[in-house]
Amino acid sequence: MPIKCQLMLESPVSINYDTYTDIVVAALEELNIEVSSIHNHADPKKAIEQADGIKVGGGNTFHLLNELYRLDILQLIKDKVNQGKPYIGWSAGSNITGLSIRTTNDMPIVEPPSFNALGLVPFQLNPHYTNYQAPGHNGETRAQRLLEFTMVDPHTPVVGIAEGTALFRQSDKLSLLGDKEAYLFCGDQQEIAIPVGSDLSHLLG
């Protein structure tokens, strides 16, 4: 029996929902995971209830969160995941697992009712984290932008996760998977390297 997952799509400009769904379906075909997109369901809440798991893809984080509020499924997803339903998110889909979307890299193309997100982990996330600065680029680095966040909210940790890495949570255990370091920002702690394989369970409080 294939594992049935619901895919929440939110990229409104760069690619249409059906094309995105086809890409994800093709990528997961060998894993025997049956993916359907929430945009094809007349009753999104029922679809989430009946799914074995939830996947949330990439795109614009502001638009994604706005859609979750518009469809009134933000709390439902949170409840189902807290009850044990698997959740996988990448890019914007990982951004919304934190307390809020205040540390996203995206432009605010829409204004959601709130920046508050799923809160599946009690800290902020910054996907696609990189400390690279192109020669001749005089704008802020990612680290400088996250420093700005920690200056106004010094008590909330931010974890920057690089390409090819993931945070894996199972109950009260949290670890870093992949082949690159992550970085922690919190108060006076700035860009503290987190080695691959680290146990980050202490960040769960």
Domain 1-120, what fold? Rossmann fold (3.40.50)
- Using alpha carbons only, give the angle 106, 112, 113 rounded to the nearest 5 degrees: 150
- At residue 38, the pLDDT reads 87
137 as an active site residue: the answer is: no
- At residue 5, the pLDDT reads 65
* Same fold flag, 1-120 and 124-205: yes
Domain ranges across the chain: 1-120, 124-205
Element (H, E) at 155: none
* Spatial CA neighbour of 90 closest among 145, 163, 35, 23: 163
106 as an active site residue: the answer is: yes
C-beta separation of 170 from 177 below 8 A? no
Domain 124-205, what fold? Rossmann fold (3.40.50)
Catalytic residue among 36, 41, 52, 106: 106
Helix then strand count (H, E) for the chain reads 6, 10
- At residue 106, the pLDDT reads 96
Mean pLDDT per block of 10 residues along the chain (205 residues) reads: 60 69 83 85 92 90 94 97 95 96 96 98 98 87 96 98 96 97 96 97 96
128 as an active site residue: the answer is: yes
